[in-house]
Amino acid sequence: MVPSPPAGAPDMRATYDVVVAGGGVIGLASAWTLARDGRRVVVVDPAPGHGAVWVAAGMLAPANEAHFGEEPLVRLLVAAGQRWPDFARALEEAAGRTIGFIPSDTVVVACDASDRTALDQLLSFRESIGLGARRLSASECRHAIPALSPAIRGGAEVPNEYQVDNRLLVGALIEACRSADVQFSSASVTSVELDHSGAVRGAVTDDGLTLAADTVIGAMGWQTSGLGGLPPGALPELRPVKGHVLRLAGSAPLLHRTVRGLVHGRSIYLVPRRDHSVVVGATVEEVGADPRVQAGAVHSLLDSARALVPGIDELELAESAVGFRPGSPDNAPHVGWTDVPGLALATGHFRNGILMAPITAEAVGALVNGSELPAEFAPFGVRPPTGSPARSQ
């Protein structure tokens, strides 16, 4: 269970140092970091931890969802992965609870000959950027993961791919934020209030109130680009990328580590949890913010998952859900100050929000402290929307 947002509204007479608009994994991790740095912080979200992060599977896989041409992004993702062991330790200590962080290797498999070719290309990409993987024959794959189908066409063992229980993670972040005196508002930020010079002086919420602060961090996922009260071109382009995810419940272990695969060109992953459940994901759908769980998508996920691991047939379909990843035109995040003094963004993390939460929180802390961001963020400050004049950096 995620702790419910702390009871009571934030003190409207208070002036905060920072308003964090959005209580997803990025907003919560950033708020926790800022509060530990001594800032007075309020997180504004009607349901903290219940957006995309709640639906996710919690894979921390730096290079599995990257493509040729995305090397700077992969460098950021790899640096993000390196933060995880320390972040997990510090968070568990602060929250006094586990987050189900498991530093394990993932097995990636191919279902047919063309999947094998596509997988080999992905492995070559990994090797070209210095990330190893051990290629496995089909029987080696099945030796590593006995539940795999005899029909698979081989695969690879990918080191340093971790997982975290995303729901335990947000519960721990809320607890750690509470302990660090972060305030919570169960409203939504609708716009940013600017002073006569055009600098931030607070955030306006949908209950008509203004939370006074010199700094606002826009961390509302894809909805960040809808923040009002700002000059044209201040915010980047973001869009919701729908993903269906299933949770299958079991009474005995079926898998002991994450399996990713290609099944007739479709990507699939199966992430086992300590309670013997398996999280199966995910579709990647450019259909806008359509909240419906659709039969075809559920069928397609189950069809691919059982092609790799037939034993899922015995599990209970416990949950089917959709989430919306914050997609940007180049699949990369926007983390930095905007041209509006006092307004920074931490959004656009697309398929890697959980992976990038610790390094993004570190970057947000650095922005507010006026210190250097991790070097890997250099290409990923706030970029203007297509057609806007280039920003002065």
Per CB under 6 A, residues contacting ligand GLY are: 59, 65, 243, 281-282, 325, 351
Q: Which structure tokens are listed for 80?
A: 């993000």
């940013």: which residue's tokens? 192
From the list 215, 230, 225, 218, the residue with the least C-alpha distance to 44 is 218
């912080």: which residue's tokens? 41
Q: Which is nearer to ligand GLY, 203 or 220 (CB)?
A: 220
Q: Which is nearer to ligand GLY, 153 or 260 (CB)?
A: 260
Q: Which is nearer to ligand GLY, 183 or 352 (CB)?
A: 352
Kindly write down the DSSP assignment for every residue of 327-338, as one continuous string.
Answer: E-TTS--EEEE-
Closest approach of ligand GLY to the CB of residue 25, in Å:
12
Q: Which is nearer to ligand GLY, 37 or 105 (CB)?
A: 105
From the list 166, 169, 165, 176, the residue with the least C-alpha distance to 43 is 176
Calculate the dihedral angle through the C-alpha atoms of 188, 194, 200, 201, rounding to the nearest 10 degrees.
Answer: -80
Closest approach of ligand GLY to the CB of residue 282, in Å:
4
Closest approach of ligand GLY to the CB of residue 357, in Å:
12
Give burial (CB, 10 Å; 0-12/13-18/19+) of 305.
Answer: buried
Closest approach of ligand GLY to the CB of residue 281, in Å:
5
Q: Which is nearer to ligand GLY, 244 or 334 (CB)?
A: 244
Q: Which is nearer to ligand GLY, 142 or 349 (CB)?
A: 349
Give burial (CB, 10 Å; 0-12/13-18/19+) of 372.
Answer: exposed
Residue nearest to ligand GLY (CB): 351
Helix or strand (DSSP H, E) at 240: strand 239-249
